[in-house]
């Protein structure tokens, strides 16, 4: 087991340090990202485990500003009509740390919403033969997505997982030019981060893990 580490080296390439400093980076610079780095991220993606090694995943790299600009209105509409009302309902009602955290998170989400099309690179994670509206159809896509997020962090690039476009997946897939037997399941906007990487804040294992029986918390 990895030892607990309170002082994490942000320049470390150790997988455990990378995991603990891989924040969702929603504020990205428009600077171009070298092709070689994107290829490394894609190689990490296709190294992921997948059901029966069928490798039905497909990945579309989008750098064309016109394509991204065409998708942007649907991404923002999904926020305005679906995501923001849900977030407003979940907003803490009393002042305190929870409300402050909610406000910070929402500001970052709104920034991404308004600047989504400006991210220099999108990697659209897709699945072949997965036309169901259920995200379970692309279950093997998600380990690849996680690998790509970790790879981006290791290379000093910011990224985040977003699947909000699925609210208008048919329209977005058409704009992306996907064939009928291919569906998108996530879009990873990738670029150099405006903010800084840092340790993630997570609840201790004793709060979220049970052992053998539900009333037995993980010893902390």
Exposed e or buried b per residue across 72-107, where buried means at least 16 C-beta atoms within 10 angstroms of its C-beta:
bebbbbbbeeebeeeeeeeeeeeeeeeeeeeeeeee
Q: Which residues pair with residue 182 across a beta bridge?
A: 128
For the chain, give the number of residues. 220
Q: Taking residues 79-98, what's their average pLDDT?
A: 86
The answer to whether 27 and 112 are in contact (CB under 8 A) is yes
- At residue 94 the predicted structure's pLDDT band, cuts being 50, 70 and 90, is confident
Q: Taking residues 83-102, what's their average pLDDT?
A: 83
Which of 56, 184, 50, 69 minimizes the C-alpha distance to 118?
A: 69
Work out the number of other CB atoms within 10 angstroms of the CB of residue 70. Answer: 16
The answer to whether 130 and 138 are in contact (CB under 8 A) is yes
Q: What is the pLDDT of residues 112-148, one digit of tens each?
A: 999 999 999 999 999 988 665 555 567 889 999 999 9
Q: What is the pLDDT of residues 37-60, one digit of tens each?
A: 999 999 999 999 988 888 999 999
pLDDT at 3: 44
**Class of 17-217 per CATH?**
alpha beta
The domain locations on the chain are 17-217
pLDDT at 10: 78
Q: What is the pLDDT of residues 197-208, one digit of tens each?
A: 888 888 899 999
DSSP state of 177: T
């Amino acid at each position: 087991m990895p030892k607990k580490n309170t002082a994490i080296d942000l320049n470390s390439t150790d997988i455990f340090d990378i995991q603990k400093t891989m924040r969702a980076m929603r504020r990205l610079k428009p600077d171009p990202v070298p092709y070689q780095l994107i290829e490394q991220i894609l190689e990490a993606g296709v190294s992921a485990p997948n059901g029966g090694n069928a490798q039905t995943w497909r990945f579309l790299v989008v750098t064309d500003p016109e394509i991204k600009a065409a998708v942007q209105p649907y991404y923002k509409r999904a926020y305005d009509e679906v995501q923001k009302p849900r977030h407003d309902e979940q907003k803490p009602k009393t002042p305190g740390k929870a409300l402050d955290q909610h406000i910070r998170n929402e500001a970052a989400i709104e920034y991404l919403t308004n600047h989504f099309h400006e991210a220099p690179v999108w990697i659209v994670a897709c699945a072949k033969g997965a036309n169901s509206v259920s995200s379970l159809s692309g279950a093997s896509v998600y380990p690849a997505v996680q690998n790509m997020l970790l790879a981006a962090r290791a290379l000093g690039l910011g990224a985040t997982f977003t699947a909000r476009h699925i609210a208008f997946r048919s329209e977005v897939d058409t704009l992306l030019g996907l064939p009928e037997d291919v569906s998108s399941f996530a879009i990873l906007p990738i670029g150099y981060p405006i903010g800084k990487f840092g340790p993630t804040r997570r609840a201790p294992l004793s709060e979220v893990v049970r052992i053998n029986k539900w009333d037995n918390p993980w010893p902390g």
